[in-house]
Amino acid sequence: MEIISTVFYFLIVIGILVFIHELGHFLAARACGMRADVFALGIGFRLFGYNKITGFNFGKLPVEADLQGHTDYRICAFPIGGYVKIAGMIDESMDKNFIKEEAKPWEYRSKPVWKRMIVITAGVIMNILLAFFIFYALTLIKGKTITETTTIGYVSKNSVAGEFGLLEGDKIRKINNEPVTNWDELQNKIYLDNLGEAVSFDLERNGQNTKVNIPKEKLRDITEKNIGIYPEKVMPQINNVVSGRPAEKCGIQRGDIIIEFNGEKITHSQKLVDLIKLNVNKETPITWSRNGNIMTSKVTPQLPDSTIGIEIAAKYEGPIKYVKYGIFSAIPKATSDLYYFGFEVFFKSIAKVIKGDIPFKKAIGGPVKIAQASAQSAEMGFLSYIGFLAMLSISLAVINILPFPALDGGHFVILLIEGIFRRPVSYKVQIALQNIGFIILLAFMLFVIYNDIISIK
């Protein structure tokens, strides 16, 4: 079932992104007087579709069918991707006879450069707009929740943080000499702004100032779990108790908050998870709170999953600041998110890969990793899921506009050359570039998929 749900969430994300992107090309082409022969969701052979001439039908269109300039809207066999086929547009599928034919008035190649530029960039623009409107909606709905603490509640065992001496109770004042005032800032400094770089922590410990330095060699494959620091006062609240498992047998109920396990005070939900795994097949004391009442029992974590049969939600009990946005004030916030996730993080990450600060294999993710991330975000709720969709949409836009053959950016460069020199690039050259670009992209995608698969744990 987990695999089915992962594939489902992945297909929904990809379907929306591709539909919006291709819709941009389609609408722009129609607005610029071009015919669009096909608008397809999915790839491969036609399952069914509709057009104004033959109506709704299954399978391939009859060979003799003349659509008279109308579009065939179709669903194809493999629900990954999609495309719009614009009449007269140069791509890797064109044959030699096409080159010899005279351009028709409704074809892409017969239109002025500026109209073709509009069509080429329309898909990217639609992906950017989708991301912006999602960020805008999330800003209006959620506002901004700021976890107002920089105090470490838990340092996981065998972590980088533990190795270099960070301790529970340490209050982080600065990261790389830049002040931090809340946990959100702290995470951005570590995982985004200083990704792949050495990180220094200015700390307050038991009233004294101290400093911890972690070299970048230890942080080249960094995730929140393996650096190993978690904020204080994030308590494990029980969301669900599995019938027949140890937690139910000892009396734990939904809504309870675990406050102690094996004699250790729980300062973060991750600490409980780690302690349970360390005490498999051992009868262990556990303490929880229910409506202000303290309750104690003993529980034995079981194999094969090293759990006690509970689903927990992290409940933050520390100070929180809520920032609400109005219809107009949400615009600059959404624009800032768009720029940050779409451009700053993307190009900063690329630069760090080139410098060698981040391993190339760890920096890229293909369909498998996207599918995993889709499912994980969906499990966190609808708002998290569409937030992930927004970040993926802006990433797709940035990648697509890169000046590489077979991408929209490659088409745009060819048009730019034509506009500057007042003459079109040879059709043969265009088709050759498209074919080369397509082969390189296909090889790269196969490598990415292989890398995804071998990285699955």
pLDDT value, residue 224: 47
Q: Where are the beta strands (DSSP E) in 318-392?
A: 320-323
What string of pLDDT tens digits covers the 457 residues of the chain?
Answer: 567 777 888 888 888 999 999 999 999 999 999 999 999 998 889 999 999 988 899 988 887 778 888 999 999 998 888 889 998 887 655 555 666 677 788 888 889 999 999 999 999 999 999 999 999 999 999 888 888 899 999 998 888 888 898 999 999 999 999 999 999 889 888 877 777 778 999 999 999 999 999 888 777 665 444 688 999 988 899 988 888 888 888 999 999 999 999 999 998 988 998 899 888 889 999 999 999 899 999 999 887 767 888 888 778 888 888 889 999 999 999 999 898 887 777 777 777 777 766 666 666 666 667 776 777 677 667 888 898 899 889 988 988 998 888 889 988 999 999 899 888 888 788 888 888 888 888 888 888 777 767 766 5
Q: Do domains 152-230 and 234-309 have the same CATH topology?
A: yes
What is the CATH number assigned to the segment(s) 234-309? 2.30.42.10
Contact indicator for 182, 149 with CB cutoff of 8 Å:
yes
Alpha carbon distance 212, 267 (integer Å): 22
Half-sphere exposure of 185 (CA within 13 A, CB side): 15
Structure tokens at 405: 């053959």
Q: Which of 8, 14, 40, 12 is nearest to 395 (CA)?
A: 14
In the prediction, which pLDDT does 384 show? 83
Q: Which two tokens stand for residue 213?
A: 């330095």
| CA–CA gap between residue 191 and residue 166 (Å, rounded) | 17
What distance in Å separates the CA atoms of residue 314 and residue 318, rounded to the nearest whole number? 12
Q: Using DSSP, state whether 346 is helix, strand or coil.
A: helix
| Residue showing tokens 């109308």 | 70
Give the rounded distance of the alpha carbon of 393 from its chain centre. 9
User: Hey, CA dihedral for 158, 162, 167, 173, is it positive or negative?
Assistant: negative
φ and ψ at 73, to 5 degrees?
-90, 120
Q: What is the pLDDT of residue 78?
A: 86
Q: What pLDDT does residue 220 have? A: 64
Q: Tell me what pLDDT residue 108 has.
A: 87
H helices of 54-198, in order, are 96-100, 113-142, 160-163, 183-188
Reference 255, options 237, 268, 235, 269; nearest CA is 237
- Residue 37 contacts by C-beta under 8 Å, 6 or more apart in sequence? 67, 71, 72, 85, 86, 87
Give per-residue burial for 33-43: e unless 16+ CB within 10 Å, then b.
ebbbbbbbbbe
Is pTM beyond 0.85 here? no
Residue ranges per structural domain of the chain = 2-35+87-133+394-455, 152-230, 234-309
Residues 400 and 397: their CA atoms lie apart, in Å, by 5
Is 52 within 8 Å of 70 (Cβ atoms)? yes
* CATH superfamily of the 152-230 domain: PDZ domain (2.30.42.10)
Q: What is the pLDDT of residue 319?
A: 85
Residue 456: which region, alpha, beta or left (left: phi > 0; alpha: psi -120 to 50)?
beta
What is the length of the chain?
457
Cβ atoms within 10 Å of 320's Cβ, excluding its own: 12
Token pair of 58 as six digits: 């299954």
Of residues 13, 11, 14, 25, the one with CA closest to residue 84: 25
pLDDT of residue 417: 92
